[in-house]
Chains A and B, each alone.
Chain A
C-alpha cells in the first residue's frame, strides 16, 4: 500500500514547476519533492492510525527516551503496534528518511562538522524502533523549520537559489544538485546501506525535542527533513555549497555575471573559464569568436595563447601551466 502511494505521490509533484526556472535545482527539487510527498503520505497514514493526541503525549515520552523511563517504553510499545499495523510504511519511511543521512555523515566527516555527531551519537538506547528515530528526526526538523511545511520553505529555498544565482556569490545553486542526487540516489537504490545507517541513526531519538502541542499538521513539517539531512545546519549548508565549487570559489567573487562582450549570462563553465592572464573573462562563444578573428584578449589586447591558457583554465591554475603560458608568451613576443 505504501509503495503504491509512493509511486502515485512521486509523479505529480506540484511544486516542481515553481522551481522549474533553475534546471539544476529542479532536478534535485524533483527528487526531494518526491521524497517529501512520499513521506507526507506515510505520515498521514500513520497519523490516521494513531490519532494526533497520542503523538503529543508521545512528545513528552520521547524526551524521556534518553532517560530510559518506563513511560517511554510504553510509548514505544504503542509505536511498535503502529509499526505492526503498517510495518512496510514505517520501514520504508525510515529508509527514505535515513538515506540522506548517509550523505551528511560523509560530508561531515569531510567538513569536520560535529552537528551530525550530536544527532547520531545521542544516547545509548539503540534498541528503539525505526519509528522512534523517525519521529526524533522530525521533531528536530520541526524546531528548525517551523510547521508550515514544504511550500514556504521551498519557495524560500528557490528564492535563495535565484538570488545566489544573480549575485556571483558562492553558488549554492549548482552544487546542491550533485550533492542531492548523489545522496538521493544512494538512498533510493541501496536499501541495505540505509538499514545499516538506520541502526546507527537510531540514537538520534535521544536528542530530539518533542512535538509541540499545536502541531496539528505535523506531516507538513516533514519535508524539511531532506534538507536537514542533506545539510546538517545552515552554516554547513553554505559551506558545503561553496565547497562544491572549490575551483571557482576564490575567483567567483570577481567573476561578472554576464559576458562583457555579448551580455549573455555566464554559465558555470564560462565563469570558470579564464582565457587570459590579465583576468578578463568572457563567455566561451565570444572567446571562440575572437580567436577566429584577431585573437586578442579584449581586456589587455594581447594575443590569446590558447592552448596553455585553456589548459590553465581546466586545470584551475596550476603553477606549471602558468609557467608555460609565460614562456610561450615570451617566445611569441620577440
Chain B
C-alpha cells in the first residue's frame, strides 16, 4: 500500500509542471517561499480540520510527509452508503492550493464517479478547483458525491446503471465493501 501511495505521489508530482518562470516575478525566491507557504497552508488546514470536528470526515498527514494525507469519509445517513467508511489519499502538489490535490479512494468504492482504481471524477478536483477549497471542503464534497452521483458521465458505468435501483445498489455496496482496515 505504501508503495502505491509513493507511486501516486511521485507520478503526480512528476506531472506537476515546473512553475513557468514569469518575467515579472523573481521566481527563485518565489518558489522557495511557495514551499514554505504550502506548508503553512497545510498546517493551518490540518488545524482547522481538527478543530472543526465535522462528523463523518477526517484527515491527517502521513507520518513524515505533510504533502500526503490520509482521509476517511463515512457514508451519509439515508444513502446507500450509510454505515460504510472509505479511506482516501490526498497528495498535495507543490503549488497547492493553486492546483488541486490528487484525491483517490484507497478503499474500493462502488460508485458511478469512482473507477476501479479509486480515481474520482469530481469537478472541483479538476477544472472547477479553486484555491479557496481545502481538505475539509474536498472531503465534504466527496461525502456528498457519494449520495448524489453524477450518472451522466460515469467512470463506473455498471454503478451508474444500477443507481436507479437503490435496493440493489445497496446490496452491491455491501457486497463489495471492505472496511478500510482490511484494505
Contacts and interface: CB of A to CB of B under 8 A. Distances in A.
Interface of A: 258, 260-264, 280, 286, 288-290, 292-293, 296, 298-299, 301
A94 B97 CA distance: 58
A292 B25 contact: yes
Given A262-B40, A263-B37, A298-B132, A290 B25 contact: no
B25 A288 contact: yes
Nearest to B99: A293
Given A288-B25, A289-B98, A301 B40 contact: no
B131 A290 contact: yes
A261 B131 contact: yes
Taking chain A's interface residues, is the majority helix, strand, or loop, or is none over half, making it mixed? loop
Contacts of B41: 261-263
B178 to A, nearest CB: 37
A296 B37 CA distance: 20
B44 interface: yes
A20 to B, nearest CB: 23
A298 B25 contact: no
Interface string B108-129: 0000000000000000000010
Contacts of A298: 130-132
25 contacts: A258-B44, A261-B97, A262-B37, A262-B41, A263-B37, A263-B40, A263-B41, A263-B43, A263-B44, A264-B37, A264-B40, A280-B132, A286-B131, A288-B24, A288-B25, A289-B98, A290-B131, A292-B24, A292-B25, A293-B98, A298-B130, A298-B131, A298-B132, A299-B130, A299-B132
A289 B128 CA distance: 18
A278 to B, nearest CB: 10
Contacts of B25: 288, 292
Nearest to A289: B98
B132 A261 contact: yes
Taking chain B's interface residues, is the majority helix, strand, or loop, or is none over half, making it mixed? loop
Nearest to B37: A262
Contacts of B165: none
Interface in B39-95: 40-41, 43-44
B152 interface: no
A260 B98 CA distance: 12
A301 B133 CA distance: 11
Contacts of A286: 131
Contacts of A264: 37, 40
Contacts of B44: 258, 263
Interface of B: 22, 24-25, 37, 40-41, 43-44, 97-98, 128, 130-132
A258 B41 CA distance: 11
A211 B79 CA distance: 77
Contacts of A258: 44
Q: Which of B40, B43, B131 has the most CB of A within 10 A?
A: B131
Q: Which of A263, A288, A289, A298 has the most CB of B within 10 A?
A: A263
A301 B130 contact: yes
Contacts of A262: 37, 40-41
A29 B51 CA distance: 37
B50 to A, nearest CB: 15
A54 to B, nearest CB: 61
B66 to A, nearest CB: 13
Nearest to A262: B37
Contacts of A289: 98
A297 to B, nearest CB: 8
A298 B41 CA distance: 15
Contacts of B24: 288, 292
A296 B130 contact: yes
Contacts of B40: 262-264
Contacts of A280: 132
Contacts of A263: 37, 40-41, 43-44
A187 B130 CA distance: 52
B5 to A, nearest CB: 25
Q: Which of A260, A261, A301 has the most CB of B within 10 A?
A: A261
A282 B17 CA distance: 24
A260 B130 CA distance: 11
A260 B37 CA distance: 11
A289 to B, nearest CB: 6
